[in-house]
Amino acid sequence: MSIEEGPLVFLVAGEPSGDLLGGRLLTALKKMTDSNVRFAGIGGEAMAAAGLESLFPMQELSVMGLVEVLPRAPQLLRRIAETERAVREMRPAVVVTIDAPGFCFRLAKRLKGSGIPLIHYVAPSVWAWRRGRALRVAALYDHLLTLLPWEPAYFTRYGLACTFVGHPAVAEAPPSDGVTFRQRHNISPDVPLLAVLPGSRMGEVRRLLPIFGAALHQLAGRIEDLQGVVVTVPATSAVVTATTANWEVPTTVTDSSERADAFAASHAAIAASGTVSVELAATRTPMVVGYRMAPLTIWIARCLVRIPHISLVNLALDEGIIPELIQEDCTAMALVTEAEKLLVDAEARETQIAAFDKALNLLGGSANPSERAAHAVLDVIAARTTR
């Protein structure tokens, strides 16, 4: 489609995974409009690289869980009000909020009825808990872009238009080169390497990195010459670097620019729950998932959650291919038991790897999610301009 005058697209991302989605969406929008499009909003490094000047640092919004959010509530409310004012003053052709429902849904509630189309990218997991939340989302937004194929059915029943775009970690996985990564970091080709991935939020890192690090140290006592690699994001880089500096096991700390290469170089991974499980599957890296939340948050979740798995690969397969160690089960010893199998048992590794292709195909296959999302955004803009 073509648009005579470049529209202003206002985007809001609140965490690194949303920033990556936003950066890819901006790139696709520029491609489809021959760069005849303007951007404003809130984002991180990926969206900045694609041309967005953020209203304020995205890291201020990167919080998760009831206990973590409460101390930050006054600041978050101020930022919501500031963002609302910016949208009303700029009058963009469309507002696209990306994940971060705690911030984005409150913003959408303030903007509903403004005459500006509202799109949300990444459906909240209503199929896992709080299914009545689908009605709330349908009342706030005009269109929903989903990453998972089973999600639209939960929202279209309430009249919300949905587009399944697929998971970007599948079709848009960057090329990976584990051999060159090892060469750059002076890691011998025959050294066993374990990826230690404690998440992208500070709360996750503070809870999980000590446990994951203890597991790495115990494994090093069992597996000769074992080394670790930790991939960071800007919001957690300083803490991760300072913590790992005291580890006795040789550990390489790198950033997101080497993310796929680090995964491909690793024999196995200990990872927090999240998109990373799909990214690891894309590089054929076997994994064990470990996760802990604040006690109150996990208590609430256990009262409401209705699914047997938490990793997207297991959910897509409806099977526990990837070991998941949650809350009190997430201990260094338990992680060691599962990770050691993946490091030394070829059959255990191959069982996971064989399942990855099926899971990745179910999550979107080779279709380009960002281009699908960009098409949907441009269609919403076009529908508004023809009214």
Average pLDDT over residues 131-152: 89
Radius of gyration of the chain (CA): 21
Quick check: 58 and 43 in contact, CB under 8 A? yes
Residue 130: what pLDDT? 58
Give the three-state DSSP class for 107.
helix
Quick check: 118 and 142 in contact, CB under 8 A? yes
Average pLDDT over residues 92-101: 95
Residue with tokens 């390489």, as numbered in its chain? 252
Shortest CA distance to 343 belongs to which of 183, 175, 173, 224?
Answer: 224
Residue 18 to residues 86, 112, 158, 206, 217, Cα–Cα distance (Å): 20, 22, 25, 21, 32
User: pLDDT, tens digit, for every residue of 172-221?
Assistant: 778 899 999 999 999 999 999 999 999 988 889 999 999 999 999 999 99
Average pLDDT over residues 21-40: 96
Beta-carbon contacts of residue 102 (< 8 Å; ≥ 6 apart): 14, 63, 69, 76
Domains in the chain: ranges and CATH: 8-166+367-385 (3.40.50.2000), 178-362 (3.40.50.2000)
Quick check: 49 and 138 in contact, CB under 8 A? no
Residue with tokens 């021959």, as numbered in its chain? 34
Per-state percent for the chain, helix, strand, coil, to nearest 5: 50, 15, 35
CA distance 67 to 55: 26
Helix or strand (DSSP H, E) at 306: none
Tell me the CB-side half-sphere exposure of residue 169, using CA atoms within 13 A: 26
Residue 4: what pLDDT? 54
pLDDT at 128 over 60: no
Provide the β-strand partners of residue 196. Answer: 230, 270
Report the 3 state secondary structure along 236-255: CHHHHHHHHCCCCCCEEEEC
CA distance 356 to 285: 9
Average pLDDT over residues 229-241: 93
Residue 163 to residues 42, 150, 381, Cα–Cα distance (Å): 23, 11, 15
Average pLDDT over residues 250-275: 95
CA dihedral 26, 41, 122, 124 (to 10 degrees): 180
Give the three-state DSSP class for 94.
strand
pLDDT band at residue 3 using 50, 70 and 90 as cut-offs: very low
Q: What phi, psi does 339 have (nearest 5°)?
A: -70, -35
What number of other Cβ atoms are within 10 A of residue 351's Cβ? 14
Provide the β-strand partners of residue 39. Answer: 9
Query: What one-character DSSP code corresponds to residue 232?
Result: -
Total residues found in the chain within this entry: 387
Maximum CA extent, the chain: 68
Residue 75: what pLDDT? 83
In whole angstroms, what separates CA 138 from the centre of its chain? 23
Residue 260: what pLDDT? 96
Residue 304: what pLDDT? 46
pLDDT at 114 over 80: yes
pLDDT at 68 over 90: no
Quick check: 16 and 236 in contact, CB under 8 A? no
Residue 64: what pLDDT? 44
pLDDT at 352 over 70: yes
User: pLDDT, tens digit, for every residue of 293-351?
Assistant: 765 555 445 544 555 677 889 988 889 999 999 888 999 999 999 999 999 999 999 99
pLDDT at 66 over 70: no
Residue 363: what pLDDT? 87
User: pLDDT, tens digit, for every residue of 263-279?
Assistant: 999 999 999 988 899 99
Q: What phi, psi does 230 have (nearest 5°)?
A: -120, 130
Residue 306: what pLDDT? 56
**Amino acid identity for residue 186 in this structure:** N
Helix or strand (DSSP H, E) at 143: strand 143-146
Query: What one-character DSSP code corresponds to residue 6?
Result: P
